[in-house]
Amino acid sequence: MPAEPGDVTSRIFIVSGPGGVGKGTIVNALVERDPRLWLSRSWTTRAQRPGESDAAYVFTDRDAFEQRIECGGFLEWTNFLGNYYGTPTPDLESGRDVVLEIEVDGARQVKSQLPEAVLIFVLPPSRDEQQRRLRGRGDPEDKVDQRLQKALDEEPVGLAIADHVVVNDDLERTVGEMVQIIHHHRTAGPSAR
């Protein structure tokens, strides 16, 4: 039986941070380790990167995305660097927690609608490392520069609304820290922060 958003049997964990911090890699590792986590796959109108998995997003066009906006089919959505990104409204199942891997603007929208959602904000170990990661995933140089500039604007916002802040300087340590955060919220109840 589907649960309502905010139902204590189903929690929403938001993993957010600027581009290049490793959100996707972290979330994939979390979902692999914890069968009680379910990843909500976001929609985007951006082009699929070379070598990027078909499962990374639901890749769609602007018309389809805008139609879904009009019928209220997104929990959150944003226009980020000229492309739409959005999280479909999840159908929460009792006993499974939802993980949202979303940009900072989307995290802010979800937290305003669902303040009980737990926001884990991820930071890079350094701006140089963030730049290296962005280049390594195949972003064009102008997009790398735009994402780095956007990170300077996003980080203060993310830090202000985050329930937890994690620096992704070592994947295994970062995932372990996030597993502990999730366990804490499951055992301490909805009021834990």
pLDDT digits (tens, 9 = 90+) for 104-124: 988 999 999 899 999 999 999
Q: What is the pLDDT of residue 191?
A: 57
CA distances to 90, 155, 171 from 21, rounded to whole Å, are: 25, 11, 10
The helix-helix angle for 23-33 and 171-188 (nearest 10°) equals: 60
The per-residue pLDDT for range 19-48, each reduced to its tens digit, is: 889 898 999 999 999 999 988 888 999 999
Domain 2-40+96-188: CATH class, spelled out: alpha beta
